[in-house]
Structure 1
Amino acid sequence: MDTYHVSPTAQGWELKKVGAERAAVRGATKKELVSSLADFFQGKTVSVKIHKADGTFEEERTYPRSADPRRSKG
């Protein structure tokens, strides 16, 4: 399973695969970027680590949701 990070940049927010040099997707706001992830990852199984504006870790999501190894809310 590939891992991606949603992180802040000087120009907004970016989605970057671990080990990649360039961002896969960019967005003006975190909300805008995160809301587009389900469509972007259609047909793929990935883990996304979402960071706060200060760069610290906030949460992890699995796409598709059915691939989440933990059966918990959130």
Structure 2
Amino acid sequence: MDSYQICASEIGWELRRAGSTEATKVMPSKEDMLGFLPRYMDGKTALVKIYGRNGSFECEQRYPQARM
């Protein structure tokens, strides 16, 4: 299972593989990033940890997501 993080930076919101210093994707807002995430994660098995602007942990999402 891959691990990713979403966190704020000076240039927007970054999606990064855990442990990487380079962003996989940068978007202007957290809402844009969260909207993009399902398309990016399609077909992947991953855990995404989401952090707030102040760096505090907010939540995590697992992919693929359970279908109800």
Q: Which residue of 2 aligns with 1:38?
A: 38
Residue 6 of structure 1: CA displacement?
A: 0.3
Q: Give unpaired runs (5+ residues) of structure 2.
A: none
Larger Rg: 1
| Structure 1 residues 8-33: Cα deviation after superposition (integer angstroms, max 9, x where no partner) | 00111000001223111110000100
Kindly indicate whether residue 62 of structure 2 is the aligned counterpart of residue 62 of structure 1.
yes
Count of paired positions: 66
**Greater than 3 Å deviation, 4+ residue runs:** none
TM-score (norm 1): 0.84
Residue 45 of structure 1: CA displacement?
A: 0.7
Q: Give unpaired runs (5+ residues) of structure 1.
A: 67-74
